[in-house]
Amino acid sequence: MSVTIKDIAKKTGFSVATVSRVLSNKTGFFSQETANAVHKAAVELGYKKNMAATELVTQTSNVIAVIVNSTKTNFSNQIITGIQKKAAEMSKRVIILYAGDHDQVAQKIALTTALERPILGILLVSVDLYPKNLLLLKSAHIPFFFISISFKDTGLNYITSDDYQIGYTATKYLINHGHRKIGLAGLGIDPSDHTGNLRFNGYQQALTENNIAFQHDWLQIGDYSYESGLTAMKSYSQTNVTAVITASDLVGIGILNQCTKLGLNVPNDLSIITIDGTNLCQLVQPPLTSITQNFFQMGYLGTNYLIAGSKKNAYTNVQLCQRSSVKTYHFKNSI
């Protein structure tokens, strides 16, 4: 059928062993002449390696599987770019698997697609595995690493931003700009949303340090989606907040657009600082001030940790990008 090393062996007169050694570049096992002859024959015959055979015998491969959510939010591209970069540097290949969106079955399919072949390791980009699927993953004894998600007390390793720090920094920034009534929108604080909890804790800490009493209607929970932003803003219009921290850029834009509908101006009537800092921030008017996560680096370093077999968690730095969605009050906007 298709051309194999056996064909090359026949054509060149060498054994398949020699051909294999040349083709997989096991230096020191062949002469330059031999190598030339083999390579020449290979291109003439249009040889293409059959990785299935290689993976079968070596029980490893150079491909990293990346599992991503059918991305509501849009930062996965940056993470994947980082992954690709590092992978290319270490001459690894990467394949990407979509795990749907909170879809247990799709998640399992993606996982088994990865697991049922020899693979270097698995990178899980902001996917929260269902318990059953986590068991499946663990039982495979294949290295894995989570990116852009964190967990409490599980032994799982991840790289992400320091979400407590994010919550704290965003809040502090707003306070420094004279805000005292600050909302937090679009995330969850039940145990399943660890990220949400951390950000909320950082937010509360900053409030407390500045003697601001948290009011419960400042927190509008949600699922990081545009729609979360829209509905959150409806609630805020009944409150006295002057600024809100949004859990994702989409939430921020939801807030922004709901403001427009309500006849409110950003930043004059309401300030927004958003978490993520993807290019969406610069697409809307006004451009949104953001706590920008270093998604590229998450992917880059995460890949590195996966390959190195790191057993520790890591955090990437965030950066505050001032744009035009936060108003400065020179007097304290008191109670």
Partner DNA sequence: ATACCTTACGCAAACGTTTACAATAGATTT
Partner DNA sequence: AAATCTATTGTAAACGTTTGCGTAAGGTAT
Task: Compute the CA torsion angle 285, 289, 290, 292 (nearest 10 deg).
Answer: 90
Closest to DNA by CB, 20 or 150: 20
Q: Identify the CA nearest to 321 among candidates 285, 286, 293, 283.
A: 293
Candidates 15, 24, 208, 260: give the one binding a copy of itself (CB under 8 A). Answer: 260
d(CA 134, CA 266): 43
User: Of a copy of itself, DNA, none, which one sits near residue 23, judging by CB under 5 to 8 A according to partner kind?
Assistant: DNA
Rounded to a whole number of angstroms, the minimum distance from the CB of residue 64 to a copy of itself is 11
Beta bridge partners of 124: 67, 146
Q: Is 45 in the site for a copy of itself (CB under 8 A)?
A: no
User: Of DNA, a copy of itself, none, which one sits near residue 155, judging by CB under 5 to 8 A according to partner kind?
Assistant: none
Interface region with a copy of itself, contact rule CB under 8 A, candidates 14-22, 50-58, 213-221, 235-243: 50-58
Instruction: Write out the two tokens for 148.
Output: 């852009």
Closest to DNA by CB, 63 or 198: 63
Q: Is 115 in the site for a copy of itself (CB under 8 A)?
A: yes
What residues from 150 to 179 belong to the interface with a copy of itself (CB under 8 A)? none
User: Of a copy of itself, DNA, none, which one sits near residue 4, judging by CB under 5 to 8 A according to partner kind?
Assistant: DNA
The b-or-e profile of 195-232 (16+ CB within 10 A means b, else e) is bbbbbbebbbebbeeeebeeeeebbbbbbbbbebbbbb
Rounded to a whole number of angstroms, the minimum distance from the CB of residue 19 to DNA is 7
Rounded to a whole number of angstroms, the minimum distance from the CB of residue 283 to a copy of itself is 5
Rounded to a whole number of angstroms, the minimum distance from the CB of residue 305 to a copy of itself is 20
Contacts of 72 (CB under 8 A, 6+ apart): 101, 224, 225, 250
Amino acid at the residue 35: A
Closest to DNA by CB, 37 or 147: 37
Q: Is 264 in the site for a copy of itself (CB under 8 A)?
A: no
For residues 222 and 232, the answer to whether their CB atoms sit within 8 Å is yes
Within a 13 Å sphere around the CA of 327, how many CA atoms are in the beta-carbon half? Answer: 18
Say if strands 289-293 and 318-321 run parallel, antiparallel, or are unpaired: antiparallel
For residues 48 and 2, the answer to whether their CB atoms sit within 8 Å is yes
- Integer angstrom CA distances of residue 122 from 78, 94, 131, 304: 18, 10, 17, 12
Residue 45 three-state SS: helix
Closest to a copy of itself by CB, 198 or 281: 281
Amino acid at the residue 278: T
User: Of DNA, a copy of itself, none, which one sits near residue 255, judging by CB under 5 to 8 A according to partner kind?
Assistant: none
Burial status of residue 31 (CB atoms within 10 A of its CB: 0-12, 13-18, 19 or more): exposed
Site mask, a copy of itself, residues 133-152, x = CB under 8 A? ------xxx-----------
Q: Is 117 in the site for a copy of itself (CB under 8 A)?
A: yes
Rounded to a whole number of angstroms, the minimum distance from the CB of residue 65 to a copy of itself is 8
Binding region for a copy of itself (CB under 8 A): 1-2, 46, 48-53, 55-56, 59, 63, 70-71, 74, 77, 80-81, 84, 88, 93-98, 100, 106, 109, 112-113, 115-118, 139-141, 226, 253, 257, 260, 279-280, 283-285
Binding region for DNA (CB under 7 A): 1-2, 4-6, 13-18, 20-21, 23-24, 26, 28-31, 33-34, 47-50, 53-54, 56-59
